[in-house]
Amino acid sequence: MTYEPRVPVPQGGASLMLAFQSKNKNVLILGDNTIAANRVLSCLEADATVYLISNPQFMCAELEYRVSQGQAILLGHQFEADMLNSMRFDLGFICQVNQDSIESVVHHFRQHHIPVNVTDRSELSDFFMTSTYRDQSLQVAVSTNGQASKLSSRIRRHIASSLPHNLGEAINRMGRLRKKVRASDPSSASSVRRMAWLAQICEYWSMDRLAQLSDKDMAELLESYHHDEGYESLDGSEKQPQQITRSSASQPMGSIALVGSGTGDPELLTIAAYKAIKEADLVLSDKIVPEEVVALVECELKIARKFPGNADAAQQEFNELALHAVRQGKKVVRLKQGDPYLFGRGGEEVLFFRQHGIVPRVIPGISSTVAAGLVAGIPLTHRGVASQFLVTTGTGARNSSAPLPIFDQHRTDVFLMAIHRLEALTKDLMATQQYPPDIPCAIVERASCKDQRVIWGQLSNIVQILDDCGGSRPPGLLIVGRAINVLKHENKGVEGVASNLMTASGLAHDVVYGESDIKVADANTQLLQLHDPEYVF
């Protein structure tokens, strides 16, 4: 009886997936369209030398730029067979050519043994382009073997979305560690042991930990490598090294997440924000994050000590606290009102941590710039009324005035950090920026919270209306524009105070002009005086 080994059965129809080393290889590309431009970019990223056959009269803007910058060398306006005799080409791409002559062009490429890819002609192609995701040294390629190229892009996006966000950096750090290990123990007899040692780290360490490997961590790991039991670099031994654990390196780095807390209603938090808050070891919160969100924190909590004139010092204090905690291995959440990148100094914090070798995770939040209008019953855009909206700050650095926009009757304007200097702001808008005194405006305070309040009127009297209501109850913002009246209930007049503008009910209280008192209809208004404004510039 003949013994048949148990081997895999080949399944035909596949293509051979390769990572082609293109550095200093000559690539010839035919075409003047955006597909040709994409092929040029792919080849440049692979460090190839790119030659182009294209008619400048029809060349797309990107190809014109590549040629003008010397990134692609223009050989001629149209393909001639003799061009393939002038030099050696390693790859060819035919992205646009007369269909009557395309087979002839392909024939010339194959006569010179040049693998060629023809756009939308898989039967003429020697190889297919893949849909590729790249994160530094990591490349993930998806191919449908010419069957469904558009679907391959969707598959690639699905795969990319499931990958750890810092995978490319983890690969780079492991590449550096691999080179260091090989340099410290270069014997070919030790290759098996080196690979086994590195494999344990790759398999058992988290991606976050790998991405944060510092030079000090690598030095200590190399020390542990050389002191593992049974280490003999020259004897060809296949002894397994001891399992590498976090304890073999220095104190593991923690993580920092800049988390947008949204407008204030905990139900409007993103799932990612909620999970980050619940999993944190330390939460550093802005002062104006509503108490309903702060109540979700179960770990150590610190509130920013920000007040006018102290914003920069308080910001630096929080940066240092976060950095210290991350270096202790803690999961730190920097909890920010709204969205971290919208007047939240999130970009500054990312730069700060990046300078210290830490890449923060940034979790977006629903910003009051758009949500406050929605929950108050104010559509920022509405057909025939407002075709655009603008978001700006009402306060500049160190509580100074900020540059203000010129009035546009077709625009809704949202002013953040403006209520504490409302009188000066409204005067500037009317006096210098051409805002009509009777333009509708509204102050939305504590948007989406149970004690939300909307104060509305005209630009000329909104300051007085706010004073008649007992002053501001931060956080709040100012909305200016005719869209304010679009959804306003008919029972609500030109000016007043309520929880929103859309319904007849839900009044917080009505201002009764000509009388010395204010009628209060909702006990929740007593809860409004909870927070002081935070001046974050």
Q: At 79, phi and psi to the nearest 5?
A: -75, 135
Q: What is the pLDDT, as a whole number, of residue 383? A: 96
Question: With bands split at pLDDT 50, 70 and 90, how would you rate the model's confidence at 357?
Answer: confident
Q: What is the pLDDT, as a whole number, of residue 478? A: 97
CB 330 within 8 A of CB 323: no
Mean of the per-residue pLDDT values of the chain: 83
Judge whether 115 lies within some domain. Answer: yes
Q: Is the pLDDT of residue 70 over 90?
A: yes
Q: How far apart are CA 136 and CA 209, in angstroms?
A: 17
Judge whether 536 lies within some domain. Answer: no
Both 231 and 259 in one domain: the answer is no
pLDDT in tens, 207-248: 777 777 777 878 877 777 776 543 343 333 433 434 444 444
CATH number of the domain bearing residue 384: 3.30.950.10
**pTM, to two decimals:** 0.56
> Which of 170-174, 311-315, 430-434, 472-476 is least confident?
311-315
CATH number of the domain bearing residue 298: 3.40.1010.10
Out of 191, 216, 248, pick the residue that ends a domain: 248
Both 422 and 407 in one domain: the answer is yes
What is the DSSP pairing of strand 49-53 with strand 26-30? parallel
Both 196 and 62 in one domain: the answer is no
pLDDT in tens, 83-107: 998 889 999 999 976 777 889 999 9
Judge whether 352 lies within some domain. Answer: yes
Q: What is the pLDDT, as a whole number, of residue 303? A: 87
Both 324 and 467 in one domain: the answer is no
Q: What is the pLDDT, as a whole number, of residue 173? A: 83
Q: What is the pLDDT, as a whole number, of residue 514? A: 31
Which tokens is 520 given? 């209060």
Both 263 and 337 in one domain: the answer is yes
Percentage above 70 pLDDT, the chain? 86
Both 387 and 509 in one domain: the answer is yes
Percentage above 90 pLDDT, the chain? 45
Both 382 and 474 in one domain: the answer is yes
Both 375 and 515 in one domain: the answer is yes
pLDDT in tens, 425-444: 999 999 999 999 999 999 99
pLDDT in tens, 183-211: 887 877 778 877 887 877 777 677 777 77
Domain total in the chain: 4
Judge whether 78 lies within some domain. Answer: yes
Angle at CA of residue 342, ends 339 and 343, nearest 5°: 120
Region 111-140: what's the mean pLDDT?
A: 89
Out of 103, 129, 155, pick the residue that ends a domain: 129
Judge whether 1 lies within some domain. Answer: no
Domain of residue 236 covers 167-248
Both 184 and 75 in one domain: the answer is no
CB 244 within 8 A of CB 201: yes
Q: What is the pLDDT, as a whole number, of residue 308? A: 52
Q: Is the pLDDT of residue 525 over 60?
A: no
The CB density around residue 29, as the number of other CB atoms within 10 Å, is: 27
Judge whether 507 lies within some domain. Answer: yes
Q: Is 263 exposed, middle or buried (0-12, 13-18, 19+ CB in 10 A)?
A: buried
Both 282 and 312 in one domain: the answer is yes
Judge whether 151 lies within some domain. Answer: no
What is the DSSP pairing of strand 331-336 with strand 282-285? parallel
pLDDT in tens, 156-185: 888 888 887 778 888 888 888 888 888 887
Q: What is the pLDDT, as a whole number, of residue 5? A: 77
Out of 314, 330, 363, pick the residue that ends a domain: 363
Q: At 2, phi and psi to the nearest 5?
A: -80, 130
Both 103 and 226 in one domain: the answer is no
Judge whether 434 lies within some domain. Answer: yes
